Amino acid sequence: MRKPRATAATSGPDGLAPAGDVAAIVAGTHGDPFAVLGVQEAGKGFVARCFVPNAEFVTAYTLTGKEAGELNRRDDAGFFEGKISIRKRQPLRYHARNAGGDWWQTDPYSFGPVLGPMDDYYMAEGSHLRLFDKLGAHIIEHEGATGVHFAVWAPNARRVSVVGAFNDWDGRRDTMRDRKDTGIWELFIPDLAAGQPYKFEIIGPDGVRLPLKADPFAFESELRPATASVTAPPIAHRWGDEAHRGFWQKADPRREAISIYEVHAGSWQRRDDGTFLSWDELAARLIPYVIDTGFTHIEFLPISEHPYDPSWGYQTTGLYAPTARFGDPDGFARFVDGAHRAGVGVILDWVPAHFPVDEHGLVKFDGTALYEHADPRQGFHPDWNTAIYNFGRSEVVSFLVNNALFWAEKYHVDGLRVDAVASMLYLDYSRKAGEWIPNEKGGRENLQAVSFLQKMNKELYGHHPGVMTIAEESTSWPKVSRPVHEGGLGFGFKWNMGFMHDTLEYLSKEPIFRKHHHNDITFGLVYAFSENFVLPLSHDEVVHGKGTLLNKMAGDDWQKFATLRAYYAFMWGYPGKKLLFMGQEFAQRREWSEERALDWNLLEFAPHRGVWQTVRDLNYLYRSRPALHARDCEPEGFSWLIVDDRDNSVFAWLRSAPGGNPIAVISNFTPVPRENYRVPLPKAGKWREIINTDAEVYGGSGMGNGGLVEASGEGGGVSATMLLPPLSTIMLEFVTD
């Protein structure tokens, strides 16, 4: 819909504004206040016009303090105008007075625009990659004054105003300039400082005033339940993470050890009174814990601003603002820098698929379906009651691509795990026949979403080579983690949802029945190298009645702990990067809830401490042995040793990589010890037992092989005869011929 164009005001012989313009300014309905207010030419001189509610007298001054003239009150609502003595157009300040006192106010309408024609060009084209430097609220110096420049995209609005306590939330007073060719509205408000809550008051194309809107590009927000955006200074933190970033810029992450600790920042730990930890408090506790436990990365559930705690951040209304729950933006920057200085990466869950329909957010932002599709068959998500981004609109794609670049540049994050990719790729996702619209070729693939994801990955990897992207994608869509130029989506990694589902299903069966489900384990290796996989044991598996990983294991309590330890070693020996949700590293018993901290007291009990020690030791082995990580994404690093012993529920394979000794991974998923069990090995000689999850130190029965087995070539082929402890995984590393 094309919005009506404002008609420029004219001045009469005496310099007076037409009565209709005065009435429109006072009513807040004028579409172009810059044509009326500020400094206007009148004959060979200038007049000044301003709208200052509650003022009885107004005197104009230049910014240097020179008096320019007394203005006349044209309308009792606060419209003033009058001839001024200046030689050229320049910004003005007004000294306003009434019976209650006086105040100074610098005139925003006496300043020129901040955005330029090149901004217009690239914004209209959808190729602007610095939108976060142009849109939103920026504290700047402009034409001799310091203040805040606001800019927002609302192409179908009749009027957009900045409102806040600084103007009594009065939308008539700071109406923005309409840059008609792009749909961008902008306004420089002098003398405004950091820390000011603000929103946009928007009159839609039908003349209806919308609910006040938060800034889509807000860099800081109020603490919920308040929903205003906040003027924020540039991040002041001085970074010291050059070594960390330099390493990852040169590294091939497929061949590095990546072990991710998935964290919900609001419920990992809390203060004694139950309130959230600040970013600084989290840094003091979480970073040392992650280092001690051996993880390489922290992955946060979304930390961008969101109104509703139980959404865990996945329904965000402020993609550019770290949530106020844990402090200010600089606090998050300090956290990331602290993690990097300690050698720990930070990954963010990122949600470009959909957004909530809270009225202060993006939904019908300018009175029309702007960020979302108008047709609910395309623009409404039935699973989450959210709006779906319109990936066919270049401005929306630019908004999202810029957001990915923003987190990498401004906060130095190491990666984005992209949520709900499957819901983006398929037009019929969670929809019945007749509830979706086919693509231009008649298919179910969302070609516009595909194009967006490819663009996002190209730009992010092109501008920030040390950053990785990870897709949460649960279907058989091909080449998710292959380069765009090869026809892929361009992600660095993809979550292996099949591994998570199949292995948990297998281990939930009583051991006596596992032989009938042997393929649940072996099938995953058929496709294990079709993508660059991350093996996720994520938050989704420990909520909504699913229990915890410990509770999913079959058997009595001893068997549950033993099986969980064996499972973790199985997973750490399996090809693919690792991800474990918080609390599962010490076998949390209660299902996770965002409303409370984890049950840290469990670490006082030996079985739980044993699981934690197992994970810690596995992380050390994984990071220190190239065989366990350097060929995670390549079939050359994996070969089966035992694949078909379903009767004993035994699995064995070999991991290998250049620069390290080969490692055999052997799992016995029954409670029966397997004595004199023959395992084929590629080399004769000594193989050291580098982990045994049945060791007493972990809470096991203590069965094992004395720390060493000998492989020989007797009887045709190299093999070793050993004891396989019950419900255990052991790893054997070749040490010498």
pLDDT (tens digit per residue) in 262-308:
999 999 999 999 999 999 999 999 999 999 999 999 999 999 999 99
Residue 640 Cα distances to 37, 353, 652, 663, angstroms: 78, 39, 6, 12
Distance CA 294, CA 122 (A): 45
Task: Note the pLDDT of residue 5.
Answer: 38
Written as six digits, the tokens of 107 are 């005139």
Segment 435-487, tens digit of pLDDT: 999 999 999 999 999 999 999 999 999 999 999 999 999 999 999 999 999 99
The kind and range of the H/E element at 118 are helix 117-125
* pLDDT tens-digit map of 412-428: 999 999 999 999 999 99
Q: Can you tell me the distance from the alpha carbon of 594 to that of 308, in angstroms, rounded to the nearest whole number?
A: 11
Q: What pLDDT band is residue 711 in, cutting at 50, 70 and 90?
A: very high
pTM: 0.94
Please give the share of the chain, as a percent, with pLDDT higher than 70.
98
Distances (CA, A) of 362 to 127, 200, 378, 399, 630: 21, 12, 16, 12, 43
User: Distance between CA atoms of 52 and 170, rounded to whole angstroms?
Assistant: 11
Of 337, 472, 585, 632, catalytic: 472
As a whole number of angstroms, the distance between CA 536 and CA 576 comes to 10
Query: Residue 2 has which token pair?
Result: 């094309």
Are 598 and 583 spatial neighbours (Cβ–Cβ below 8 Å)? Answer: yes
Task: List pLDDT tens digits, range 3-29.
Answer: 443 444 455 556 789 999 999 999 998
Query: 472 an active-site residue?
Result: yes
So what's the pLDDT on residue 618? Answer: 98
Average pLDDT, the chain: 95
3 state DSSP class of 406: helix
Location of structure tokens 């250049």: 658
pLDDT of residue 3: 43
What does the alpha-carbon distance between residue 17 and residue 690 come to, in Å, rounded to a whole number?
Answer: 86
Among the options 32, 220, 372, 419, which is catalytic? 419
By DSSP bridging, strand 45-51 and strand 38-42 are antiparallel
pLDDT of residue 14: 64
pLDDT of 168 reads 95
617 is catalytic: no
Q: Which residues pair with 471 in a beta bridge?
A: 418, 494
Short-list 111, 115, 107, CA closest to 80: 107
Report the alpha-carbon distance of residue 640 to residue 651 in Å, rounded.
Answer: 8
The mean per-residue pLDDT over the stretch 113-135 comes to 88
pLDDT of residue 395: 94
SS3 at position 675 = strand
Residue 601 burial (CB count, 10 A): 8
Q: Does the pLDDT at position 631 exceed 80?
A: yes
Alpha carbon distance 421, 245 (integer Å): 27
485-507 tens-digit pLDDT: 999 999 999 999 999 999 999 99
Q: Look-up: residue for tokens 């179910």?
A: 444
* Burial state string for 169-196 with b = 16 or more CB within 10 A and e = fewer than 16: bebbbbbbbbbbebbbbbbbbbebeeeb
pLDDT tens across 394-406, in order?
999 999 999 999 9
- Confidence (pLDDT) at 715: 67
User: Strands 577-581, 533-537: parallel, antiparallel or unpaired by DSSP?
Assistant: parallel
Query: What is the predicted pLDDT for the residue at 43?
Result: 83
Task: List, edge to edge, every strand of the sheet that includes 159-164.
Answer: 159-164, 197-203, 229-230
2 pLDDT higher than 50? no
How many residues in total does the chain contain? Answer: 737
Number of other CB atoms surrounding residue 126 within 10 Å: 15
Distance CA 726, CA 730 (A): 11
Which own/partner pairs from 524-528 qualify as long-range (CB within 8 Å, at least 24 positions apart)? 524/496, 524/498, 524/499, 524/574, 525/575, 525/638, 525/640, 525/653, 527/498, 528/496, 528/574, 528/575, 528/576, 528/635, 528/638
- Angle at which helices 117-125 and 394-410 cross, to 10°: 110
CB-CB contact of 319 with 313 (8 Å) = no
Q: 3-state DSSP helix/strand/coil percent for the chain, to nearest 5?
A: 30, 25, 45
- What is the rounded CA–CA span in Å between residue 341 and residue 357? 39
